[in-house]
Amino acid sequence: MTALAPGENRPAPGDQLTVTVASSASVDVSALLVNTAGKVRSDADFVFFNQPTGPGVVYRHGNGGPDVVGVQTSALPADVDKVVVTASLDGRGPATFAAVGTLTTTIESGSTALTFPITGLTTESGVVCVEIYRRNGAWKVRAIGQGYDDGLAGIASAFGVNLDDDPEPAAAQGHSSPVTPAPPPGPPAYPPPAYGQPGGPAQQPTYASQQGAQPVHSDLFDPSHAEVNGLGIQKQGGKMVKVGMNGEVMARSGSMVAYQGDLKFEALGSGGIGRAIRQHLTGEGVPLMKVTGRGDLFLANSAADVHIIDLDGTDGLTINGANVLAFDSTLRYDIGRVQGAAGYASNAGLFNCVFTGRGRIAITTHGSPVVLTVDQATYADPNAAVAWSSSLQTGIKRNDSFGLGRLMGRSTGEASTLAFSGRGFVIVQPSELPPGGLIGGTGGGQQAGTGGGIFG
């Protein structure tokens, strides 16, 4: 095994290379395929945990051990000049490499191995470890060890990866009411139905007898159980939504309980490279699917109560990702830090989803909520506050004094609350155990149900 010094290069030990980055802290390994200008040809050349394959390059999760990048140099496209292998802290441990003991990159092929111990990092949270590059028709390996203070996002941006998420959506049609945590009065502001029976309540179905048997009778056939009419996202009872489809809608992955017509389902993951990185680091986000076509789509999430909110573009909605059921594709969402709460969590901070634009969103709560108008100092249990106006200012208020009683295990059980100020609303559910937690858990999204308790 040969050890490399910073800046040293050696011939690649083979065509099939395995690059491993071992560290005393948990790190994410990634690779970028770049051209002679030092930039990726497209975002498809960024190989990482959310996009694990590229031409000639494969990312493999360590499953408890170090992540691995496999490179087959003979399979790399002719216009790829080098493969850059990086490592970044994943948010579950130290915030910078100054607190990391060892960081060693190993490049192996067959029985031959090159190693590169990386030292001297301080404020950095990401590092370019090695590069595999062409030189006079042959492939070589160079030790780099260059750090980046802004982690994986900074490295990706430096090599030309577009970290912007989905482009700004077009203005929604037919949504003119202001932000309100309840359905607008009258029929939903959507175009009239383009198929089926136009308007009006659905008729109670009747069933003809067969071979002399009596027709089926049940209170299930009462009109109150019939499906609602019209296009767009609408409440179907209290725990389900119906989406009259003639286009597309974004829905929580796995939330479909039934559909009629010709619909197509497409898994979307995090919804963009930048958002995927943020979701990975924060544990917050919404595992999404895009549904397109023409028909009727029915969505639910564990029989949770469903509510409809219309956004008119003047204010946003901040919400735990675990409470998002579906939303119009005209809305844009991102992952943002909860203001005033960064000091009360891990180095990743506290994060929620922030929806902006014009459109409709369906959310869920555990039980029937109360909607508080914030016109004075307002406080809510962090695990009960489901969503709030994005224009509100937030902070943390400590309620228990930290004294001998706390040391002996005595507490009010209300050690800290979320504080809200400004003008807007807060949706509070009658439960302190939302799916995935809000504060005191690891976020929503795909990690729902792993709540902890950082607020005492």
Please determine, for residue 433, whether its predicted confidence score (pLDDT) is greater than 90. Answer: no
Q: How many CB atoms lie within 10 A of CB 256?
A: 18
SS3 label, residue 278 = helix
Band (397; pLDDT cuts 50, 70, 90) = confident
In what helix (H) or strand (E) does residue 156 lie, and over which residues does it extend?
helix 151-158
Per-residue confidence at 27, pLDDT binned at 50, 70, 90? Answer: confident
Predicted confidence (pLDDT) per residue in 53-104, tens digit: 899 999 988 777 788 999 999 999 999 999 999 999 877 778 888 888 788 9
Mean pLDDT rounded to a whole number for the chain:
77
Report yes or no: 423 and 376 within 8 Å, Cβ to Cβ: no
Distances (CA, A) of 435 to 28, 129, 239, 431, 444: 27, 39, 15, 10, 7
Question: What are the pLDDT digits (tens) for 124-166?
Answer: 989 999 999 999 989 999 999 999 988 888 888 899 888 765 5
Residue 159 confidence (pLDDT): 92
Using 50, 70 and 90 to split pLDDT, how confident is the model at 339? low
Stretch among 125-139, 213-227, 308-322, 437-451 having the lowest mean pLDDT: 437-451
- Torsion, Cα 91 269 447 125, to 10 degrees, reads 0
H or E segment and range at residue 387: strand 385-389
CA distance 184 to 299: 20
pTM summary value: 0.52
What pLDDT score does 67 carry? 85
